[in-house]
């Protein structure tokens, strides 16, 4: 039976204003705004809402979707959502998409289900590809630094994943600067250059600037992509007048009430007033601030609605 593909991407998707930045000194261009699947794409989330967000993203030039093995909840279910979307909507557009996934955090029980061993990484990439209904990912990350596994073991597994054709490029997330330097050299010597470093960078958390990570990436031709660029929603108008029942903070899991101190709220209100005076939103100003930092390639935003995403690409 022939099932008609119901999604037709907007033909103006590459002429509606999305900017593409070169990722370090590589051949890859990434949209200045990328879409993250950490929240809102799990089995607990309404599929049609997740689907609408991805359509809106791609229709507006967002070609990069960022995933990880454990995004959900349940673990693995964000990748399964992507797999369904590939089958239903995005298969014809596979070569226009840049899809990343990661392994590093707890994924399955027992001693081989997390961190940085070859055993874990090799099993995880195979599981991810199966869930996403993909032959390869564009980018595979070590999701976190493992202090107990030799870096050579983790890095060689990443090299071998590329050599096996399961990923086109390698990235690293949340490694300390000295380990990042080691990884950069190790990978370069094996002709699998480090494409990108992923870390938290936003107006409230400037560590990669302060500790020299961003500068190291810039100086060495490694792209840099910021996660939680809106500080999980704090750097938007979401919490300026209380804590909405449907917000991430109301869930008290990853964003806790006590993070919203009176001092922070006052700072956010000041930034919001400044943004409004320029006719902009706090979210837009916050994303612009990151992208103005030398060496930043893209910001990975999250969104629980197309309306939020719309605001996050208008700047
Ligand atoms: N490498 C790592 O270790 C790591 C860690 C964390 C994240 N990441 C990546 O980064 C991505 C983004 O992280 P994040 O979700 O924390 O990003 P974020 O963009 O800082 O926060 C997204 C949340 O902020 C709220 N929001 C977004 N736009 C809004 C707007 N215009 N107005 C009002 N509220 C808005 C929504 O929360 P509500 O639910 O309240 O609506 C949304 O889910 C993840 O999906 C993942 O791909 C990677």
Print pLDDT tens along the chain (315 aa).
445 558 999 999 999 999 999 999 999 999 999 999 999 999 999 999 999 999 999 999 999 999 999 999 999 999 999 999 999 999 999 999 999 999 999 999 999 999 999 999 999 999 999 999 999 999 999 999 999 999 999 999 999 999 999 999 999 999 999 999 999 999 999 999 999 999 999 999 999 999 999 999 999 999 999 999 999 999 999 999 999 999 999 999 999 999 999 999 999 999 999 999 999 999 999 999 999 999 999 999 999 999 999 999 988
CA of 217 to the centre of ligand 1 (A): 23
Q: Which residues contact 112 (CB under 8 A, 6 or more apart)?
A: 119, 120, 123
Measure 124 CA to ligand 1 centroid, in angstroms.
24
Q: Which of 100, 137, 233 has most ligand 1 atoms within 8 Å of its beta carbon, as the pocket-test mutant?
A: 233
CB 182 within 8 A of CB 151: yes
What residues pair up with 194 in beta bridges, in sequence order?
170
User: How far apart, in Å, are the Cα atoms of 277 and each of 57, 285, 292?
Assistant: 28, 11, 20
Q: What residues have CB less than 8 Å from 153, skipping those under 6 apart?
A: 116, 117, 118
Q: Which CATH class is domain 23-236+283-312?
A: alpha beta
* DSSP states along the chain: -PPPP-----TTTTSSS--EEE-TTSS-EEESEEEE-SSSSSTTS-HHHHHHHHHHHHHTT--EEE--TT-SSSTTHHHHHHHHHIIIIIGGGGGG-EEEEEE-S--SSSTTSSTT-HHHHHHHHHHHHHHHT-S-EEEEEE-S--TTS-HHHHHHHHHHHHHTTSEEEEEEES--HHHHHHHHHHHHHTT--EEEEEEE-BTTB-HHHHTSHHHHHHHTT-EEEEESTTGGGTTTTTTTTS--TTSTGGGTSSS-GGGS-HHHHHHHHHHHHHHHHTT--HHHHHHHHHHTSTT--EEEE--SSHHHHHHHT--
> How far, in Å, is the centroid of ligand 1 from the Cα of 51?
17
Q: How far is the CA of 303 from the centre of ligand 1 (A)?
A: 6
Ligand 1 touching residue 174 (CB < 6 A): yes
Alpha helices (runs of H) in 73-150, residue ranges in sequence order: 77-85, 118-132
**pLDDT value at position 5?**
59
Which residue, by CA, sits nearest to atom 17 of ligand 1? 228
Is ligand 1 within 6 A of the CB of residue 247? yes
Q: Ligand 1 centre from 286 Cα, in Å?
A: 13
Mutate to test the pocket of ligand 1, among 302, 303, 304 (most ligand atoms within 8 A of CB): 302
Regarding the beta carbon of 141 and ligand 1, being less than 6 Å apart is answered no
Q: Pick the closest to residue 36 from 12, 62, 17 (CA basis).
A: 62
Does this model's pTM top 0.75? My answer is: yes
Q: What are phi and psi of 182, to 5 degrees?
A: -60, -45
Q: What share of the chain is helix, strand, coil (3-state, %, to 5)?
A: 40, 15, 45
**Strand pairing category for 223-227 and 137-142:** unpaired
Centroid of ligand 1 to alpha carbon of 310 (angstroms): 14
By most ligand atoms within 8 Å of CB, the mutation choice from 81, 301, 306, 313 for ligand 1 is 301
The residue nearest atom 13 of ligand 1, judged by CA position, is: 228
Assess whether the C-beta atom of 55 lies below 6 angstroms from ligand 1. no
Alpha carbon of 190 to ligand 1 centroid (Å): 34
The per-residue pLDDT for 315 is 80
Handedness of CA 293, 309, 236, 68 (dihedral sign): negative
- Domain positions in the chain: 23-236+283-312, 243-280
Candidate from 228, 251, 307 with most ligand 1 atoms within 8 A of CB, to mutate: 228
Ligand 1 atom with least separation from CA of 173: 1
> What pLDDT does 6 receive?
82
Residue to mutate (ligand 1; options 30, 35, 36; most atoms within 8 A of CB): 36
8 Å CB contact between 65 and 99: yes
Q: Chain centroid to CA 57: how far? A: 14
């Amino acid at each position: 039976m022939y099932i008609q593909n119901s999604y037709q991407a907007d033909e103006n998707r590459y002429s509606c204003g999305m900017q593409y930045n070169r990722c370090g000194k590589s051949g890859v261009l990434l949209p200045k705004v990328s879409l993250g699947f950490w929240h809102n794409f799990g089995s607990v989330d309404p599929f049609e809402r997740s689907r609408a967000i991805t359509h809106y993203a791609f229709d507006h030039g967002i070609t990069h979707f960022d995933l990880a093995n454990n995004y959900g909840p349940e673990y693995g279910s964000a990748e399964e959502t992507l797999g369904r979307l590939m089958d239903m909507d995005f298969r014809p557009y596979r070569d226009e998409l840049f899809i990343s996934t990661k392994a590093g955090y707890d994924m399955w029980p027992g001693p081989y289900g997390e961190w940085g061993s070859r055993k874990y990484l090799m099993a995880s990439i195979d599981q991810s590809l199966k869930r996403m209904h993909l032959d390869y990912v564009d980018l595979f990350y070590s999701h976190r630094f493992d202090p107990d596994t030799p870096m050579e073991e983790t890095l060689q597994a990443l090299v071998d994943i590329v050599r096996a054709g399961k990923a086109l490029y390698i990235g690293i997330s949340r490694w300390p600067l000295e380990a990042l330097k080691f990884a950069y050299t190790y990978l370069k010597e094996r002709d699998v250059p480090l494409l990108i470093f992923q870390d938290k960078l936003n107006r409230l958390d400037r560590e990669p600037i302060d500790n020299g990570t961003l500068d190291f990436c810039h100086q060495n031709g490694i792209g840099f992509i910021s996660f939680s660029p809106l500080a999980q929603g704090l750097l938007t108008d979401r919490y300026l007048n209380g804590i909405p029942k449907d917000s991430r903070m109301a869930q008290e899991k990853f964003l806790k009430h006590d993070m919203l101190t009176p001092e922070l709220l006052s700072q956010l209100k000041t930034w919001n007033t400044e943004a409004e005076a320029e006719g902009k939103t706090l979210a837009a100003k916050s994303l612009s601030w990151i992208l103005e930092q030398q060496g930043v390639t893209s910001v990975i935003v999250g969104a629980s609605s197309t309306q939020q995403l719309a605001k996050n690409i208008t700047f």
